Amino acid sequence: MSNSITLQSADGHRFEAARSDPAGKPKGGVVVLHAIYGLTTHIAGVCDQWAGAGYAAIAPALFDRVGKGLVHPYGAAGGEAGRKCYLGTSEANILAEIAACAGAMKDCGPSIVSGYCTGGTWAWVASAKQRFDAQVNFYGSHVAQKLDLHPKCPTVMHYGDKDHVVPVPDIERIQAANPGVLIHIYPGGGHAFFNPEQEHYAAGHATLAWQRSLAFLDGQLAGG
């Protein structure tokens, strides 16, 4: 089960995070970035899932600069509240928190960044502006609006073809601008299909996306 920890960014900001560690030597360290709703129980559970697969994982509370412990309910109202929280911080702040998490796992092996929805967008930004060994991106929400950025590490992405946030033409634009990025598209999959707490959860797609992610990392990080 994940533990609540406190980390400090380079500018002195102290923030909460969820951390999970594997039973043995880590295969790597994963920074897990939450969606618009904040550091939910789902994201803490994802850290546990990474630990079960042999990786250390830390998920920062990216809203802590706005208010401590902010988690919003799923749905339109919660999404709007989350958007306001993201507007209340900055790219520099978010990248500082990501860097602090990666630094806390510097002894865990290869460094991986992963994210969901808006967190997937920030994983994309971080993969272009910071040093990571791999990126695992779940339905990054605004990647198609950031095609001036390109990941500097091997990247796998997961999208559903019924995603109301990221339509197929946007996915195709991402692929065309980044031919080296591996993108899996899940037939009938909606936005947030990996999250069992949300309405578009699809167990089959979630399981396959997880298996593909682990296989991707096994291939990319072998001997790393």
Q: State yes or no: pLDDT of 1 exceeds 90.
A: no
Q: In which domain, by residue range, is 56 found?
A: 3-221
Q: State yes or no: pLDDT of 224 exceeds 60.
A: no
Mean pLDDT value across residues 141-162: 98
Number of domains in the chain: 1
Share of the chain above pLDDT 90, in %: 97
The rounded distance, in Å, linking the Cα atoms of 123 and 115 is: 6
* 49-63 pLDDT per residue, tens: 999 999 999 999 999
Q: Which residues of 101-126 are buried (b: 16+ CB within 10 A; e: fewer)?
A: bbbbbeebbbbbbbbbbbbbbbbbbb
End-to-end CA distance of the chain: 27
Q: State yes or no: pLDDT of 209 exceeds 50.
A: yes
* 83-115 pLDDT per residue, tens: 999 999 999 999 999 999 999 999 999 999 999
Q: For residue 59, give the CATH number of its domain.
A: 3.40.50.1820
Mean pLDDT value across residues 202-215: 98
pTM greater than 0.95 (yes/no): yes
The rounded distance, in Å, linking the Cα atoms of 142 and 82 is: 15
Confidence at residue 148, expressed as pLDDT on a 0 to 100 scale: 97
